[in-house]
Each structure stands twice: as structure tokens, then as C-alpha cells.
Amino acid sequence: MAWIDSFLAPRRSRLDIRRDDAGNYLIRRKDRKRGARAILVTAHLDHPAFVVVNDRPVASARGIIDLEFRGGVHNPYFVGSRIEVIDCAGVRHDASITHLDAAAKPFKRVRARLARTSSAHAIAAGDIGRWKLPSPMIVERDLAAPGEPERVVKVLETHACDDLAAVAAACAAFDRLLRDPKAANFGLLFTVAEEVGFIGAIHAARGSLIPASSRLLCLENSRSFPHDSPIGAGAILRVGDRLSVFTPALTNALSDLLSRHAKANPVFRWQRKLMPGGACEATAFAAYGFDSTCLCLPLGNYHNMKDIDLTVAAAQRNPKARGRVGCEFIAIDDFHSLVEMISIGVRGLAAADATRARRGRANQGHRPLMESIYRKGQAVLAG
């Protein structure tokens, strides 16, 4: 949130910025056309992490702290893993998880022992903890699936790509189009508490923050599957998740825009996929009557979990099996692909709005294609 405030500061004179009582941001241009439909690119600001829950360590002499974990990570990744707790002064305190209560409600609870160099008394309830991981870096990885030839991809490794890489892409695209008069109705919506059940998105959808006619392009980072949604093959237009199919007309419009752009620009790469697992804020917004769809980055080490399938399988055989946490990673080219997809989508949807306003008729979607197929089919059958 502090980073977003700093990003907005030099642009503030051109923007209307609203915050609701949950902390969600709505950022729109002052020169927007008041009667036109908004195109809002959304991303969530949180990532799975720990929150200190005891006011004072339960055994301060031994440096023991209790934390709850907010977000989705499998049980084998906790006990034995190292974390760092950041106190209100910004000081980082190293600790190791010694115990997991996976049945605790509403969130899993862990107990951790602080390193000897850390002061337990500096830590208070509400302080944030995260996995202890290396500093962010850009490296080259061989991401070839088993049996495939070498496929080296330049990737960003960092504590949290989900969904902060999407926040960065949204800001980059917004900055690119900030002075484009044809994109005046492009805005940003940044939500809170997605990892614990779309709380921020639902709060915004139920309230008055979002204009009722808005179309929402929801940005995500979704787990990559090598043979389905490979990292390095371009950002992804998601057509749905495990709960729903996203708004067909909006998804189809984007698919058409991206297909035409790829045909004219062979170096542009993108993917069109169904989300094989999990759910997306696009479903939440659609449930409250908004047109919504999803653009996402294929993600490695989803929620910081290395070798997810192998770890889960090992834990089923042996409950004491442990997983390893690691940096999430995305391809640099995929990030640039996502920025380009946002720009193409916003410009294309705005141009279609202008065309409909001039012609005074609704978007026909795939109707021209269906009419062509029908005429050809009629002629064949008649023959």
C-alpha cells in the first residue's frame, strides 16, 4: 500500500483516488467520460503469511512466539521451516517453526522459536511474519518438462509474485496509457484479503465503490503446469476457474483482440486456458452482477511451495514428511506479455465502446462468424 501511494503521488493531480473502509483502492482518471463504462484492471495486495497473535511471547525467556497463518499452504511445509518476523520498527527477527496446529480456526496456528540474536520483547501481536527466503533476483532456469529438450527461461525469483507481480503490471499498463485520451475510462482496483476468501473483492462488490456498469479484468498469478500453462509461453487469458466460467462476452472480446494482435505481431505470445484448480476474484465479481474475466501470470513455486505434488504424495504415505519452501517465480517475458495484454484489452474495449456509441447497437460478439458458417452450411446442405 505504501508503494502504491508513492507510485500515485506524482500522478495524483490527474487522478481520482478512493479508499473504502476495508482498504480497497479505486483509481480513476479525472478526464474520464462520465457516461461511459469503466474498464477496471484489478489485482489483490496480499500474499499468504503469518501474523503474531500473542501480545507477549508465551515464554519470553525461551523466545517462543505464536502466529497464525493466513492463506493456503499444505501442512508439510511448516514444521522445521525458517521464517522472519518484522516488528513495528521494521526490524527482522529470524525464527524456526517448531509446532503446527492445522486444525485451529479460523486459521492454522504455529509456534516458532526465535533465534538467539532476536529480542522476543520487540515483537507484538499484529506483527507480520514471512518465510525466510533469499533476496529477489533475476536468473535463468531450465523449465523443460520431463522428456523435453532444454528450455532456458529468464525468471524473477522473489518472496511474493502472487499477486504483487500483477499489481506491478497493472501500474505499468496504467502509466503507459495515462495520457491516451482513448483510454480515459481505464482504472485500477486493488483489493485486500483475497487469500482468505476474496473478502476485499466481495466487500467492494457489495458496496458502492465500483460503478455498476464496470467491466473487470482481474489479474492473477496461477500455478503453472508444464504441459498446460508453461512459464515463458506468455501470460494467460483465463476463461474460467473451478467454480465458474467467466463472463463469456468479455472473455471472447479479449480473446479476439489478442488473437488479432498475435497474428499481426508474431513475437507476441499469450495463452488461453481454463484454470485447472483454485478460484479467482473474477468469479466473485460476476456473482454480484459485474462483467469480469481474468488475465494471469503462470507461476512457479505457487504460494512458496516447492515440488507440490511430490510433497503432498509423500505426506500421504508418511505424515511426518516435510516440504521445502522457496521463492515464487515468473518469467520476465510473461510479465511484459501481461502488460501488453492489458494495454491491448483496454484500447480494444474502448474502441469497441466508441464504435457501438456511433452505430447505436450492442456488441454482437461471435454473431458475424455464426452468420458466415450458417450461410456456407445452408449452401452445402441445399446442394
Say what the pLDDT of residue 60 is: 54
Residues 306 and 245 placed together within one structural domain of the fold: yes
Give the C-alpha separation, 235 to 340, whole Å.
9
The three grid cell numbers given for residue 72, joined into one nine-digit string: 493456503
Residue 229 and residue 127 in one domain:
no
The mean pLDDT value for 15-27 works out to: 95
Does 63 score more than 80 pLDDT?
yes
The answer to whether residue 345 sits within a structural domain is yes
Residue 237 lies in a domain: yes
Q: What total number of domains does the chain contain?
A: 2
Q: What is the pLDDT of residue 72?
A: 95
Tell whether 174 and 309 lie within a shared domain. yes
218 and 183 co-located in one domain: yes
Amino acid at 356: R
Instruction: Confirm if 46 and 193 have CB atoms less than 8 A apart.
Output: yes
Q: Where in 115-249 does DSSP place strands (E)?
A: 128-131, 137-142, 152-158, 186-191, 215-223, 235-238
The answer to whether residue 172 is domain-embedded is: yes
Statement to judge: residues 264 and 228 lie in one domain = yes
Per the prediction, the chain carries an average pLDDT of 92
* Whether the model pTM is above 0.85: yes
Query: How is residue 307 written as a grid cell?
Result: 515440488
249 and 217 in one domain?
A: yes
Contact 249, 290 (CB under 8 A): no
28 and 93 belong to one structural domain: no
Residue 211 lies in a domain: yes
Position 111 confidence tier, pLDDT thresholds 50, 70, 90: very high
Q: For residue 367, what pLDDT band results from cuts at 50, 70 and 90?
A: confident
Q: What share of the chain is helix, strand, coil (3-state, %, to 5)?
A: 35, 30, 40
Residues 187-202: pLDDT tens digits?
999 999 999 999 999 9
Examine the domain organization and report whether 295 and 313 are in the same domain. yes
Same domain, 208 and 262: yes
Any domain includes 232: yes
Distance of alpha carbon 283 from alpha carbon 216, whole angstroms: 11
Q: Which CATH number do you get for residue 20? A: 3.40.630.10
Instruction: Judge whether 379 lies within some domain.
Output: no
Residue 381 lies inside a defined structural domain of this protein = no
- pLDDT score recorded for residue 35: 83
Q: Would residue 252 count as lying in a domain?
A: yes
Percent of the chain with pLDDT over 90: 80
Answer yes or no: do 299 and 350 share one domain: yes
pLDDT of residue 56: 57
* 138, 155 contact by CB (below 8 A): yes
Residue 112, domain extent: 49-131
Does one domain contain both 188 and 302?
A: yes
Residue 72's domain is classified under what CATH number?
Answer: 2.40.30.10
Reported as a single tens digit per residue, the pLDDT across 141-163 is 999 877 888 999 999 999 999 99
* DSSP-derived secondary structure for 251-314: HHHHHHHHHHHHHH-TT--EEEE---SS--HHHHHHHTT-EEEEEEEEEBSGGGBSSHHHHHHH
Whether 121 and 229 map to the same domain: the answer is: no
User: What pLDDT score does 144 carry?
Assistant: 86
